[in-house]
Amino acid sequence: MRDEILEMGKKAREASHLMALANSNQKREFLDKMASALGLERDSIGAANRKDVEQAERKGLGKAKIDRLVVSEKVLEEMIEGLKEVSMLPDPVGEVTRMWTRPNGLQVGRMRIPLGVIGIVYESRPNVTVDAAALCIKAGNAVILRGGSEAFHSNMRLAGILRESLNQAGLPEDAVQFVETTDRQAVLDLLGLEEYVDVMIPRGGEDLIRFVTKHARMPVLKHYKGVCHVYVDSETDLEMARNICLNAKVQRPATCNAMETLLVHEAIAESFLPEMAEDFRRNGVELRGCQRTRALVPNCAAATEEDWYAEYLDLVLAVRVVPDMDEAIRHITAYGSQHTEAIVTANFERAHRFVRQVQSSLVLVNASTRFNDGFQLGLGAEIGISTSRLHAFGPMGVEELTTTKFIAFGNGQLRG
Amino acid sequence: MRDEILEMGKKAREASHLMALANSNQKREFLDKMASALGLERDSIGAANRKDVEQAERKGLGKAKIDRLVVSEKVLEEMIEGLKEVSMLPDPVGEVTRMWTRPNGLQVGRMRIPLGVIGIVYESRPNVTVDAAALCIKAGNAVILRGGSEAFHSNMRLAGILRESLNQAGLPEDAVQFVETTDRQAVLDLLGLEEYVDVMIPRGGEDLIRFVTKHARMPVLKHYKGVCHVYVDSETDLEMARNICLNAKVQRPATCNAMETLLVHEAIAESFLPEMAEDFRRNGVELRGCQRTRALVPNCAAATEEDWYAEYLDLVLAVRVVPDMDEAIRHITAYGSQHTEAIVTANFERAHRFVRQVQSSLVLVNASTRFNDGFQLGLGAEIGISTSRLHAFGPMGVEELTTTKFIAFGNGQLRG
């Protein structure tokens, strides 16, 4: 196996040199051809996907896992739509982000270039194969994909179509390679290829991400968890606050940008919390409160220390009454995961200070935490959300799959 | 030891929260106080430094190593000057680098914030203690320093003065911590603190950098080596080409941005190489050439395959005649280290294409490779040069010690 993975690394590096020079039209052509091919190949994709689903059923996988595995007509349409959107994004490669002139006349700038070779290790959803490859190629990279064993046949078929589409667009087909084995050792081998893979992006549960981080010899762009907070300030439009809190918690509770802890200023706790709690109850949300919350909300369970750290990903919410915003920020710093925090306030000074002081990947004023998403923030697409600070912090779009080199234009400058 | 290092990590994380909120004046005050303190404490610094130098002499260290160790009056003045320059740089923290509005009215932007906690592992020069700490603090970070054992007493004294200066400026003194042991295990412990150290920057020889990269559990910003090329094109001002090549090779041959391989277009090889070789010989440069070079330059040694990969860091140069620019770029891609490459040409199309196609951290037209340096390119200061692409590629200034978070201002936006 070692040799095969090493060979993939070398081929990816070769392909990345060609991809770095690919022009915008070729990359757009690839994405458009891929979108058409997904439509034309729906039968062969469906057949491969049925193999995976049947296998999963025989193995007795849970319904949620099988649901994630199925490439339904809707999932296929979303993939096609996604490809078209990525195709229409501006090409980030070659952009000169800044340029300045030195006293000696040397004109210096920074030009955007691809990262090189990107490794993606992911779990069950087969659409990641297409979505991730599309973004990597748009940014001029080569990519090595390693999907979950449950989706093996689906992924193999999709990867085959990706390679055919590259070929048709005159791009190197080795710009997309798929690890054609479900052997776990292959992942370890891939994580050791620091000479050929510039960055590794794991997508999946916390166990997978910790495994990749532990063994990867190259940098890893990752996101562990989202313990997101909304702080409702003393001066605030209570109806807006209720709407934001409800949206942040219940609109899609299983996502990483859903609210997990609600912090409420003591001055409005009495006028805000009982009605808010009613809204939550009507929407099936279980509350776990601090002592002061429980005094205002009947039949509220007591929050333990663990609740403040919890990422429930479910209709459960921890609630705490705080004496002021500083205590709210202290709470966020101590228990949060630097993912997404929002303040609801009508007070300018506190809005301004909250944004400055909270060090999370997205800090919002008067809007739902659910906006921490590449599409929602206007990046056009997203390959994941990074909660580590190096290179990218927050949603990663096509630009985060590039870097910048320095360029300099002179007329004979020498160093003295 | 484990516990002490862990404790340092925790203290650094605490200090980083305070540093992130420090205002520009406090950080400037720290840098100015530190500059004064270095002058006032020259005797105590000198005494500590003499201990290190005497120890090194007893151990029989080579002259070059001892030279790097000495904190002479000149080195001290350079440190003071460096602090003043960093003090005058604009504060990168809080800058909103972009802002845009979404169709739903949500105003989204990116705000520059510190990286958090930076670890620096370095070798003999004691001035790194001051230079690196100054840049990290300017960018609002906390830093843990681990210097070479030869400079232990000097570093301890300098770190002590740094902490006193932080204190005097009202900043947390744990924003600068120095690992107070020469035990190698302490480095391994530090490299395992991924929860408390956000990025590790090794500074020193290739062995140190490989060691840090191998064992670090957090991301590493590093630079292995500089195999830098100058390509002299067929259409070119030969005198300018000679001056650039001479400057790139001999102005400071031991630096990472000195030229190691010269590539010459065959059309001008005959008119360019003999005279160029004469210049090199007069400056003590030993040449190792390809067959065609040797036919033009008398008594030139034959270059072997290893010479094309070599980072001599010395007055030695590999020379190759190439049929065209494409072959020059292929050579650079195959043998280079993505550090610095220059083209000397009068031809617009080739200048343009070289800049676009060569994927090194700095690509120059008609200027010396020696400009790949944070000061020279106008970053104001430099903590190192990165040849890996993630986060930073090329010289790293104070901005490269920050990241950006997303910020969003709304008036009740919900996700539908």
**Interface contact flag, A21 B415, Cβ < 8 Å:** no
User: In this complex, which of A251, A333, A411 lies closest to B17 when CB atoms are compared?
Assistant: A333
**Interface contact flag, A376 B17, Cβ < 8 Å:** no
CA distance B231 to B139: 37
In the 3-class helix/strand/coil scheme, how is chain A assigned residue by residue?
CHHHHHHHHHHHHHHHHHHHHCCHHHHHHHHHHHHHHHHHCHHHHHHHHHHHHHHHHHHCCCHHHHHHHCCCHHHHHHHHHHHHHHHHCCCCCCCEEEEEECCCCCEEEEEEEECCEEEEEECCCCHHHHHHHHHHHHCCCEEEEECCHHHHHHHHHHHHHHHHHHHHCCCCHHHEEECCCCCHHHHHHHHCCCCCCCEEEEECCHHHHHHHHHHCCCCECCCCCCCEEEEECCCCCHHHHHHHHHHHHHCCCCCCCCEEEEEEEHHHHHHHHHHHHHHHHHCCCEEEECHHHHHHCCCCEECCHHHHHCCCCCCEEEEEEECCHHHHHHHHHHHCCCCEEEEECCCHHHHHHHHHHCCCCEEEEEECHHHCCHHHHCCCCCCEEECCCCCCCEEECCHHHEEEEEEEEEEEECCC
A234 in reach of chain B (CB within 8 A): no
Lowest mean pLDDT among B39-53, B182-196, B287-301: B182-196
A107 in reach of chain B (CB within 8 A): no
CA distance A1 to chain B (A): 22
pLDDT digits (tens, 9 = 90+) for A390-408: 999 999 999 999 999 999 9
Give the residue among B235, B230, B16, B31 at the shortest CA–CA distance from B119.
Answer: B16
Residue of chain B with shortest Cα separation from A215: B217
CA distance B108 to B97: 11
CA distance B212 to B203: 10
Q: Is the pLDDT of residue A1 over 70?
A: no
Which residues does chain B have within 8 Å of residue A213's beta carbon, measured at their own beta carbons? 194, 217
**Interface contact flag, B219 A219, Cβ < 8 Å:** yes
A210 in reach of chain B (CB within 8 A): no
What average pLDDT does this structure show over B269-284?
A: 98
Q: Is the pLDDT of residue B1 over 70?
A: no
**In the prediction, which pLDDT does B63 show?**
87
B414 in reach of chain A (CB within 8 A): yes
pLDDT digits (tens, 9 = 90+) for A87-114: 999 999 999 999 999 999 999 999 999 9
pLDDT digits (tens, 9 = 90+) for A145-201: 999 999 999 999 999 999 999 999 999 999 999 998 878 899 999 999 989 999 999
**Interface contact flag, A361 B406, Cβ < 8 Å:** yes
A364 in reach of chain B (CB within 8 A): yes
Q: How confident is the model at residue B302 (pLDDT cuts 50, 70, 90)?
A: very high
Q: How confident is the model at residue B166 (pLDDT cuts 50, 70, 90)?
A: very high
Give the number of beta-carbon pairs within 8 Å between A and B.
207
What average pLDDT does this structure show over B162-172?
A: 98
User: In this complex, which of A214, A378, A393 lies closest to B108 when CB atoms are compared?
Assistant: A378
Q: Is the pLDDT of residue B143 over 80?
A: yes
What average pLDDT does this structure show over B220-235?
A: 93
Q: Is the pLDDT of residue B233 over 90?
A: yes
CA distance B408 to chain A (A): 5
**Interface contact flag, A102 B376, Cβ < 8 Å:** yes
Domains and CATH numbers, chain B: 2-222+392-408 (3.40.605.10), 228-376 (3.40.309.10)
pLDDT digits (tens, 9 = 90+) for B309-331: 999 999 999 999 999 999 999 99
**Interface contact flag, B378 A199, Cβ < 8 Å:** no
pLDDT digits (tens, 9 = 90+) for A35-76: 999 999 999 999 999 999 999 999 998 888 898 899 999 999
Which residues does chain A have within 8 Å of residue B228's beta carbon, measured at their own beta carbons? none
What average pLDDT does this structure show over B140-161?
A: 96
Q: Which residues are within 8 A (CB) of A283 and not within 5 positions of it... i.e. 6 or more apart?
A: A246, A249, A250, A315
CA distance B217 to A337: 19
